[in-house]
Amino acid sequence: MKNIKQKMAAGLMIFVMAMMTSVEAYAEGAIRFSNNAFKQVISKSADGSTTFDYVEPGLVLPDDVILYEIVFENISDQEVSNIVVNNPIANNSTYRDRSATGDSTTITFSVDGENFASADALTVKDKTGKIWKAKPEDYKAIRWIYTKPLKPGEKGKVTYKTTIK
């Protein structure tokens, strides 16, 4: 029982630290960012259908799916172009394949946190020099490039999911 409580406490601490991870973004002008996280809850109804709901995370345990949402808003009085959102994937979690979304964005990934490319172009090199195609669990960061101007007062949103290790 003590071991389970320790794992639960560790899972909660890791999740809190992941939420404190800052979003790095570049933009011409004043952009306000807000970050939200939601835990996926799966429900089965009497007819056998499955529903996926997203709730405030509360307690987070290994294998829980977390949806991250980053909202950006133009709070200036001018259009803003060249908005780039870089977001690290927390060490306690694994990116869920094909879960990154964002209207009017180009999405790329990084296996080292510095160099970004499309998922198909990413490779990983091990200590022996062997190179292979990167898998979603190898991703360390996600980058969204917003491809159109954001008008004053307008908002955009990007999302992705992870699984807690």
* Cα separation, 34 vs 46, whole angstroms: 37
pLDDT of 19 over the 80 cut? no
Give residue 113's Cα distance to chain centre: 13
Can you count the helices (H) and strands (E) in the chain? 1, 12
144 vs 46: which has the higher pLDDT: 144
Asked if residue 106 has pLDDT above 80, the reply is yes
Domain ranges of the chain: 2-164
Predicted local confidence at residue 24, as pLDDT: 52
What is the C-alpha separation between 103 and 159, in angstroms, rounded? 10
Question: For position 26, what pLDDT does the model report?
Answer: 53
The answer to whether the beta carbons of residues 89 and 24 sit under 8 Å apart is: no
Q: Which helix (H) or strand (E) holds 3?
A: helix 2-20
Region 53-78: what's the mean pLDDT? 94
Residue whose C-alpha is closest to residue 159's, from 98, 70, 94: 70
Burial bucket for residue 90 (CB in 10 Å: 0-12, 13-18, 19+)? buried
Using an 8 Å Cβ cutoff, are 149 and 31 in contact?
A: no
**Residues with Cβ within 8 Å of residue 43, at least 6 apart in sequence:** 50, 51, 53
Taking only the tens place, the pLDDT of each residue in 146-161 is 999 999 999 999 999 9
Q: What is d(CA 162, CA 18) in angstroms, rounded to the nearest whole number?
A: 11
